[in-house]
Structures are given as C-alpha cells and as structure tokens.
Amino acid sequence: MPIIEAEGLSKTYRVYQKKEGLLGALRGLFRREYKEVRAVDNVSFRIEPGEIVGFLGPNGAGKTTTLKMLSGLIFPTSGSARVLGHVPSERADTFRRRFALVMGQKNQLWWDLPAADSFQLHREIYSLPTDSFTRTLGELTEMFGVESLTRQPVRELSLGERMKMELIASLLHQPQLLLLDEPTIGLDVVAQVTIQKCLHDYNESRGVTILLTSHYMRDVEALCSRVLVITHGKMVYDGPLAGITEQFGRAKLVKLQFEGSDSPEDLGQYGEVTSRLGPVVDLKVDRAKVADVLALILDRYTVVDMSVQDPPLDQVIARVFEEGRAQHEADSQRV
C-alpha cells in the first residue's frame, strides 16, 4: 500500500499585477489585472513505505507547495492526495501524529530556550510516554552527535547544530513519514554530510519513508534512489537517479590526451571544447555521435589516453531546469 498517493495535484494562485505610474494606479482601483500562476500543475506519483525520494527542482518550481499539500497545510486547487491513508487537508489528529515536516531555514524550536526544553514541549504535545521518549531522545542525540549541546539555548548554536536539533525534534514522536524541505540549505559541507548519513541510517534501521526537496544535487545523490524532477510546477521525470542522465543527458564528456605537448587546434568541428590544458582536452560530444567522433579522431591523431564519461549530474539537471524555464516562458507568451 503506497504511503503517499498523489493524483493530478494542482495549485493555482492569482497574483495581482501592479500597474506603473499614477494612471496605472488609478486604473487599478477599478479593474485589477491578475495573472494566474500554476505553482503545481497536475503532479501525480506514488511513494511506497521505506523509500527515500528526492524532489528536485529550481527555486519556485513548486516543490515546497507540493510538500505543503501533502502535509495538509494547503488545499489543492484540483486533484487529490492520500497520505498515510488520510486526506491531508482534513488534518486529522491521527494523521498529524504520524508524520513530521521540517523546513530548512525555518525554526520551530524555541529561540531562547535550550533544545532540551523544546523537546520536553514536544513530548507533551505528542503525548509521548516518558521512558520511550527518553530512550528515543538518547538514541537520536547520540546519532546526530549533539548530546553535549542540548542544554544550550538554541540561538547560540550554529546553523548545522540547529538543523540537527530540528531533525531530532521531528523524529521524537517516531513518525512513519518524514517530509524535508531544503534541509541542508545554508549548511557547511561537514554538517550536510553528517545529516545525510544520519537520515540514511535512520531510514535503514527504522524504515521511515523520507521525501526530501532540494535544489542541491549533493543531498539527492547521497540519499535518494528515486528522484522526481519538477520545473515550473510540472513533473518532468520520475525514476532512478541514474536514469536522468540517460533521459536528459544529450552529450557525453570525452577526455583526450594527445601525444606530445600540445593538442590539435581544430577539434571544435567534432564537438564543444570545454577545456584545454596542453595535451589534455575535454570535449563535449553528442551522445549519438560519440562513436563516430572517436573513430575520426583516433584515425587522424595519436591519442595517448582517453575516457568517455557522463557529464556531471548537476550540469544535466541545470540544463533541464533551463529548458523548462524557456518552455514555460514560451507558453506564457502564447497565452
């Protein structure tokens, strides 16, 4: 039984256009022009228990809006969602007890108090029995490595430490589903890696389903076996991480090392020269043409070393985003 079922989820907003100048302001008193923004456009997917799924998309793509619809904070304009067997927007108590939502850069812990006190409040709010609470808290603080910091006021902690506390708070009531919105944004690399590892371990040991949004590739690469790519409210991909390059990667990166201390000048005819250092050249070549290009080059020149790679995933994704934006703009012009 899927833990999340989203069917045709959409969310549309009306954004009022402010006209410029006095005349525009006057006209605005009588008739306001508005633009309809499709924050989420007909998104459907299913998530099974125990999965770690990444939501990838540029800023403003609709990832956060989708998460909010799944947690019941926002009503969908159309479509439906079933999460943990509930309709999220009804916000039943039994539903709210079984999941947690954590938003990066937003703090739900008390600012002036030590994190330990916030945890106590959580215990009261979720009615957690003392002994299991203490045990869970101990395990979590140990896992995240913050045992010594829980008695410090939250405002004195670093960003990374604060995020760890937020995650601990979200896991205290042992939710079955963890929704994370940009959890590692603004954090240093060490903190990011620690958090990624903890989430991974937690998922393995407890089977908690994790859905995380990000516009950082690193989070997604580290944790997610499956990725949903969203641009401008539309879902453009749903599948394993590796598949993205397959589907969207149009070029392959060919690294060549030529004999001698220099490389030929005219390699531009075979593809895009992205880098050139003495005898070493990076050449971006259309997937379909790789074999032919290689044959031609090997025929004409003497090559000492060679490798063919997929371009870095974030480049592919960046291009997907870029194309999505261009498409979206073209669509809006037409309308």
Partner 1 sequence: MHQFLRYVRLWTALARFSLVRELAFRTNFLVKIVVEMLWLAILIAFYETIFAKTSMVAGWDRYQYLFFLGFYFALGGLLETLFLENCNNFADLVRTGDLDFYLLKPMDEQFLVSCRTIDWSCAPNVLMGAGVMLAALVFGGWEFDVGRLLLFLITLVCGTGLAYGFLLLLTAASVWFMRNQSLFEMWWLFSTLMRYPREIFSGTWAYPAGLFFSFVIPIMLVTNVPAQVMMRAIEPKLVAYAAAATGVVLWASRRFFKFALERYRSASS
Partner 2 sequence: MKPTLSVSDAALALPAPASPFKKYWKILRISLVERLVYRADFIVSTIFRFLPLVTSFLLWQAVFDGSQQQSLSGFDRRRMIAYLLMVQISRMFSSMPGLAGGIARDIRDGNLKKYLLQPIDMIAYLVSYRAAHKMAYIVTSALPYGLLFFLCRDVFDGWPDLLTLLAYAVSLALAFLIGFFFEATIGMIGFWFLEVTSFLYIINTVNFFVSGHMFPLDLLPPFWSHMLQLLPFQYLAYFPAMVFLEMKTGQELVIGLVMELFWAVLFIVLARVLFKFGLRRYSAYGG
Q: How many residues touch partner 1 (CB under 8 A)?
A: 30
Binding mask 24-63 for partner 2 (x = CB under 8 A): --------x---------------------------x---
3-class secondary-structure state, position 118: helix
Cα 102 to Cα 173: distance, rounded to the nearest angstrom: 13
Please name the amino acid found at residue 309: Q
How many C-beta neighbours within 10 Å does residue 201 have?
11
Chain residues 198-237 in contact with partner 1, contact rule CB under 8 A: none
Question: Among partner 2, partner 1, none, what does residue 334 contact (CB within 5–8 Å per kind)?
Answer: none
Contact predicate 11/77, CB 8 Å: yes
> Does 111 help bind partner 2 (rule: CB under 8 A)?
no
Cα 298 to Cα 170: distance, rounded to the nearest angstrom: 57
CB of 78 to partner 2, least distance (A): 8
Of 57, 58, 61, 65, the residue at the interface with partner 1 (CB under 8 A) is 65
Q: How many residues touch partner 2 (CB under 8 A)?
A: 10
Q: Which is nearer to partner 1, 20 or 124 (CB)?
A: 124
Chain residues 3-62 in contact with partner 1, contact rule CB under 8 A: 13, 39
**Interface segment toward partner 2; rule CB under 8 A; list 13-21, 95-103, 224-232, 246-254:** 13-21
Backbone angles phi, psi at 311, to 5 degrees: -65, 155
Question: Among partner 2, partner 1, none, what does residue 12 contact (CB within 5–8 Å per kind)?
Answer: partner 2
- Compute CA distances 11 → 35, 70, 100, 150, 332, whole Å: 14, 12, 22, 39, 17
Region at 273 (left for phi over 0; alpha for psi -120 to 50; beta for the rest): beta
**Interface segment toward partner 1; rule CB under 8 A; list 25-33, 93-101, 289-297, 308-316:** 93-101
Of 127, 261, 302, 307, the residue at the interface with partner 1 (CB under 8 A) is 127
> Does 14 help bind partner 2 (rule: CB under 8 A)?
yes
Contact predicate 182/105, CB 8 Å: yes
Q: Which is nearer to partner 2, 1 or 29 (CB)?
A: 29
Q: Which is nearer to partner 1, 119 or 202 (CB)?
A: 119
Cα 164 to Cα 206: distance, rounded to the nearest angstrom: 18
Contact predicate 171/102, CB 8 Å: no
Q: Which is nearer to partner 1, 38 or 197 (CB)?
A: 38
Cα 18 to Cα 157: distance, rounded to the nearest angstrom: 41
Cα 320 to Cα 315: distance, rounded to the nearest angstrom: 9
Question: Among partner 2, partner 1, none, what does residue 68 contact (CB within 5–8 Å per kind)?
Answer: partner 1
Q: Which is nearer to partner 1, 92 or 193 (CB)?
A: 92
- What burial class does residue 206 get, using C-beta atoms within 10 Å of its C-beta: 0-12 exposed, 13-18 middle, 19+ buried? middle
Cα 116 to Cα 145: distance, rounded to the nearest angstrom: 14
Binding mask 57-96 for partner 2 (x = CB under 8 A): ---x--------------x-xx------------------
Cα 210 to Cα 147: distance, rounded to the nearest angstrom: 24
Report the Cα–Cα distance between both ends of the chain, in Å, rounded.
41
Chain residues 206-245 in contact with partner 2, contact rule CB under 8 A: none
> Does 335 help bind partner 2 (rule: CB under 8 A)?
no
Chain residues binding partner 1 by CB under 8 A are 13, 39, 64-65, 68, 71-75, 91, 93-94, 96-97, 100-101, 103, 106, 108, 110, 112-113, 117, 120-121, 124-127
